Amino acid sequence: MNDAPALRGRIAFQPMRGGLDTAEAERRLARDGANELPTARRRGFFVRTLAVLREPMFLLLGAATTLYLVLGDLGEALVLSASVAVVVGITLRQAGKSERALDALRDLSTPQASVLRDGDRVRIDARRLVTGDVVVLGEGDRVPADARLIEATQLGIDESLLTGEASPAPKGTCAPSAEAEAAPTRDDHVYRGTLVVHGYALAEVVATGARTAVGRIGASLERTNPPRSTLQREIDRAVIVFAAAGLGLCASVTLLYALLRGGWIDALLAGVTLAIANVPEEFPVVLTVFLALGAWRLARERVLTRRIPAIETLGAITVLCVDKTGTLTENRMRIAALRQSGAAWDVAAGVPIGAEFDDLLVRALMACRIDPTDPMERAIVEAAAPRAGAGERTLVREYPLMPGLFARTQVWRTPAGLVGACSGAPEAIADLCRLAPARRESMLADVAVLARHGLRVIAIGALEHPVSLPLPERQDALAFVEAGLVAFADPLREGVAAAVAEATAAGIDVVMLTGDFPETATAIARQAGIDVGDGPLAGAALSVLDDAQLAAICAHRRVFARVTPEHKLRLVEALRARGEIVAMTGDGVNDAPALKAADVGIAMGRRGTDVAREAAALVLLDDDFVSIVRGIRRGRTIHDNIVRAMRYILAVHVPIMGMALLPLLTGGPLVLWPIHIVFLELVIDPACALVFEREPAAGDVMRRPPRDPHRTVLGLRLLAGGVLDGALMLAASAFVYATARALRCPDAGVAAATFVALVVGNVGLIALNRGSGLLHKRNHAFWIVAAGTASVLAATLGLPQLGHLFRFEAPPAGVLALAAGLPLAALVPLFVARTRASAPAAGHA
């Protein structure tokens, strides 16, 4: 569409100007700034560093550094400080990755605005709107800036954001005047953040960003903090419990050391070391990094995450309710058949549409908006525009869809008088045209034949209205005559049948919802592989069922036809009443309640309204069902990886705590000091943030049932599994410790051998928790971490200066071989058992 007057049939009465030119818009953008409200500034490097240093582990490390200075051991204090700086750097890098991922998601989810630039209608980032821009507003749009109406058709705006009034405010244009310019609010203005409930308009932007009405109120609307998710609260509780236990152990060990060995400074160092070993600061880091980067990876799968906690729910979905048109099908309509007064045309005949169908097509065109976005209307415009002639036509009245009447009407003024057309569901058009029972039966029989071939069918009615008579308030008071039927072919999307089969294998019931005729729904469902079962349930039959009956029906019905947004909401509630975890797709304004009611609301990114996208937790950037299934696969993988990381964190802290405490209880030489804990953190942190986050999906990720959403992640099974894994490593390390002492190795040699066992066991626990496909799943991060760890460990044993800092002395070759081999040998039975298991432990923990 290359000129603004082409929009006239949709919303306007007179030719329109073409908006700003691009160069002028860029100048105004540079002058006024972006069209965005003030938001909380991104934290600077100093603030982020300070936040990291306030974490309990770093406070404890700071205390240890201070104790070394009190002892006069400047070298130990400097080394510990340098090591802490490295760990802080890694932590800041992880936080930076999370923030960059979230920034990328915010950029993807930035609202778009339809605007006239250089005479063309284009969609741009709403942040680039400037004063003077002409925006196009339609039903379901969120107003992107304060603007003065230029032209409007039956425009109603929900201004509850500003006024608190629930009912839509009617809007229209009025002549400019000094009084109107001075008024603070006017009926011919629309305001940023308000919602177009019905109608269409062109409006000129008069204020952007902080200069809008919402911007003047304040930025609090943009700074609402969402509640923490179930998993976040669970992790918060776990960290508090472990931290409290760590402080208790710290006090106990300090007292025990002082009583048994004397020396309060050394006692404090031993206590602090054990406390550091016990604080699981990796838990919140894992959750933050995994969910943020997981949302970024989902966006690469064409699924935009608007609410990060929704990722936790993806793996628990049991029912997936999807629209047919545009989600299962391509939403790329073409006219496939026409029926009119006994005449028939089918695209399969291979001949052009004959002139006898001109009136039907022109009437269908009258029922369409000019410059339409609906694919059916586009197909009609393409076929009918050459037949419509050049006569002048002005839109007088539009009658939208009504509850219980699936039809819409447009009335036009032409030189010959008032003419119009209605289009919609055949049964609705039959009612509007007041067809005799026999003719109605004949029409619906034709519809059924076309629908059984998977075609989407609408009926068209024609209107001639006397100029002398006023138009009624309702379209069913007009006098229509039957014009005919238009049938559209909308092919199934590539890959849908395979995606439905994958979802079914994953224990997810796919339910198809459509406003189409039942026969069309049945045909498409069979092509997609959706269980038709007892056939589709029509919306009229659904309406008469009570909630209990509907819940019972949902147990075995998978196809619903002729449904409305109200039906969608009832279906979601009925399914959830049965204990299902429901994902629901939607695109319209009226779909918002169902999207909010679902456990995971999924809005259409291309054809969806702003309201639907705001109500949903996820947005499909390509409106494709295949992307939903890929998103579920990704969500399950993210959850699996969180569980793997959590189990590893629990396991790895057991031998560290054990070997910090065991020497105190046995009277042997201490193995772990703060410098050693920091070294181990340099292995643990990358393992969590890099290795497990990048772990590919398990082979059975889409062959197991959905997880129970009520089962806590840090449940008894995970805790027991992690503690048992760690206890095995503790036993191996303790055996190495005892063997080295029995062979009368020097204290530094005992410490070195035991530390080698701890580090090797740490890497072994990473491998164990990666899952059964260690050698088959590509994850370069694991091998990088393993190689880096081995290199640094070898340096601490081979370089005397580094060995001195770690208080190490190279043990005998036999003891060293035992330290390197025993932890891995101890894990072999566990690895074999998990490989043979039907499903990975991580997936069910």
For residue range 342-356, what is the model confidence (pLDDT) as tens digits?
899 999 888 999 999
List Cα–Cα distances, 840 to 199, 210, 424, 640, 780, in angstroms: 54, 52, 52, 9, 21
Quote the tokens at residue 505.
């294998």
Are the CB atoms for 169 and 159 separated by under 8 Å? yes
Quote the tokens at residue 357.
């169908």
What 3 state SS string does 143-161 have?
A: CCCEEEEEEEEEEEEECHH
The last residue of a domain, from among 181, 200, 220: 220
Do 478 and 524 have their domain in common?
Answer: no
Distance CA 277, CA 270 (A): 11
Examine residue 599 and state whether it is found in any structural domain, yes or no. yes
Do 447 and 581 have their domain in common?
Answer: no
User: Which range among 244-258, 621-635, 652-666, 811-825 shows the weakest confidence by mean pLDDT?
Assistant: 244-258
Quick one: pLDDT at residue 458? 95
Average pLDDT over residues 412-423: 90
CB atoms within 10 A of CB 240: 10
Who contacts 288 (Cβ-Cβ below 8 Å, separation ≥6)? Answer: 95, 98
Examine residue 407 and state whether it is found in any structural domain, yes or no. yes
What mean pLDDT, rounded, does the chain reach?
81
Quote the tokens at residue 39.
């938001």
Examine residue 673 and state whether it is found in any structural domain, yes or no. yes
Torsions phi, psi for 651 (to 5 deg)? -65, -45
Who contacts 635 (Cβ-Cβ below 8 Å, separation ≥6)? Answer: 294, 298, 311, 312, 313, 314, 315
User: Which range among 78-82, 385-389, 496-500, 693-697 shows the weakest confidence by mean pLDDT?
Assistant: 78-82
484 backbone φψ class: left, alpha, beta (φ>0; ψ -120 to 50):
left
Examine residue 55 and state whether it is found in any structural domain, yes or no. no
Q: Would you call 350 helix, strand, or coil by DSSP?
A: coil
Quick one: pLDDT at residue 451? 92
Look at 182 and 472; give whichever has higher pLDDT.
Answer: 472
Average pLDDT over residues 450-461: 93
Do 821 and 679 have their domain in common?
Answer: yes
Distance CA 722, CA 651 (A): 4
Distance CA 726, CA 718 (A): 12
Quote the tokens at residue 241.
């419990």
Torsions phi, psi for 637 (to 5 deg)? -65, -40
Radius of gyration in angstroms for the set of CA atoms belonging to the chain, rounded to a whole number:
34
- Side-chain-side CA neighbours of 385 within 13 Å: the count stands at 13
| Nearest of 698, 757, 770, 753 to residue 729 by alpha carbon | 757
Who contacts 799 (Cβ-Cβ below 8 Å, separation ≥6)? Answer: none
Do 358 and 441 have their domain in common?
Answer: yes
| Nearest of 505, 510, 532, 506 to residue 521 by alpha carbon | 532
CB-count burial class (<10 Å; 0-12, 13-18, 19+) for 414: middle
Which structural domain range is residue 382 located in?
A: 334-489
Quote the tokens at residue 19.
């908006």
Band of the pLDDT at 65, cuts 50, 70, 90?
A: low
List Cα–Cα distances, 471 to 20, 349, 434, 484, 579, in angstroms: 37, 42, 19, 24, 50
Are the CB atoms for 781 and 788 separated by under 8 Å? no
Distance CA 311, CA 602 (A): 12
Torsions phi, psi for 495 (to 5 deg)? 90, -5
Quick one: pLDDT at residue 106? 57
Tell me what percent of the residues of the chain surpass a pLDDT of 70: 79
Examine residue 64 and state whether it is found in any structural domain, yes or no. no
Are the CB atoms for 844 and 643 separated by under 8 Å? no
- In this structure, is the dihedral angle defined by the CA atoms of residues 415, 417, 418 and 419, taken in order, positive or negative? negative
In DSSP terms, 300 is beta-bridged to: none
Do 484 and 520 have their domain in common?
Answer: no
Do 481 and 501 have their domain in common?
Answer: no
- In this structure, is the dihedral angle defined by the CA atoms of residues 12, 18, 22 and 25, taken in order, positive or negative? negative
Do 565 and 655 have their domain in common?
Answer: no
User: Which range among 390-399, 791-800, 816-825 shows the weakest confidence by mean pLDDT?
Assistant: 390-399
Distance CA 618, CA 626 (A): 14
Quote the tokens at residue 496.
């849908």
Q: Would you call 624 helix, strand, or coil by DSSP?
A: coil
Quote the tokens at residue 18.
């073409």
Examine residue 544 and state whether it is found in any structural domain, yes or no. yes
Answer yes or no: is pLDDT of 819 > 70: yes
Distance CA 16, CA 14 (A): 6
CATH of the domain at 395: 3.40.1110.10
CA-angle at 172, arms to 167 and 178, nearest 5° = 115
Do 619 and 540 have their domain in common?
Answer: yes
Quick one: pLDDT at residue 111? 76
Are the CB atoms for 65 and 84 separated by under 8 Å? yes
The last residue of a domain, from among 623, 645, 678: 623
Do 341 and 319 have their domain in common?
Answer: no
CB-count burial class (<10 Å; 0-12, 13-18, 19+) for 491: middle
CATH of the domain at 144: 2.70.150.10
What's the pTM value of the predicted model, to 2 decimals? 0.76
Quick one: pLDDT at residue 1? 32
Q: Would you call 388 helix, strand, or coil by DSSP?
A: coil
For residue range 699-730, what is the model confidence (pLDDT) as tens digits?
888 999 998 877 777 778 888 888 899 999 99
Answer yes or no: is pLDDT of 328 > 70: yes
Are the CB atoms for 57 and 283 separated by under 8 Å? no
Between helix 674-686 and helix 74-108 the angle, nearest 10°, is: 20
Examine residue 826 and state whether it is found in any structural domain, yes or no. yes
| Nearest of 777, 771, 756 to residue 821 by alpha carbon | 756
CB-count burial class (<10 Å; 0-12, 13-18, 19+) for 722: buried
List Cα–Cα distances, 374 to 201, 369, 387, in angstroms: 18, 9, 20
Examine residue 75 and state whether it is found in any structural domain, yes or no. no
The number of distinct structural domains making up the chain is: 4
CATH of the domain at 749: 1.20.1110.10
What 3 state SS string does 734-794 have?
A: HHHHHHHHHCCCCHHHHHHHHHHHHHHHHHHHHHHHHCCCCCCCCCHHHHHHHHHHHHHHH
Answer yes or no: is pLDDT of 158 > 90: no
Do 202 and 319 have their domain in common?
Answer: no
What 3 state SS string does 293-330 have?
A: HHHHHHHHCCEEECCCCHHHHHCCCCEEEEEHHHHHEC
Average pLDDT over residues 38-43: 57
CATH of the domain at 592: 3.40.50.1000
Total count of residues recorded for the chain:
845
User: Which range among 184-193, 304-313, 476-485 shows the weakest confidence by mean pLDDT?
Assistant: 184-193
User: Which range among 95-109, 385-399, 677-691 shows the weakest confidence by mean pLDDT?
Assistant: 95-109
| Nearest of 642, 633, 640, 635 to residue 617 by alpha carbon | 635
Distance CA 478, CA 80 (A): 86
Q: How many Å is the maximal CA-CA distance in the chain?
A: 114
Who contacts 675 (Cβ-Cβ below 8 Å, separation ≥6)? Answer: 76, 79, 80, 83, 805, 806
Distance CA 141, CA 154 (A): 15
Element (H, E) at 120: strand 120-125
Are the CB atoms for 483 and 407 separated by under 8 Å? no
Quick one: pLDDT at residue 54? 64
Q: Would you call 693 helix, strand, or coil by DSSP?
A: coil
The last residue of a domain, from among 220, 238, 273: 220
Do 155 and 129 have their domain in common?
Answer: yes
Q: Would you call 208 helix, strand, or coil by DSSP?
A: coil
DSSP 575: H
Distance CA 341, CA 458 (A): 15
Do 781 and 716 have their domain in common?
Answer: yes
Are the CB atoms for 516 and 543 separated by under 8 Å? no
Most confident of 180-194, 611-625, 669-683, 766-780: 611-625
Distance CA 380, CA 362 (A): 9
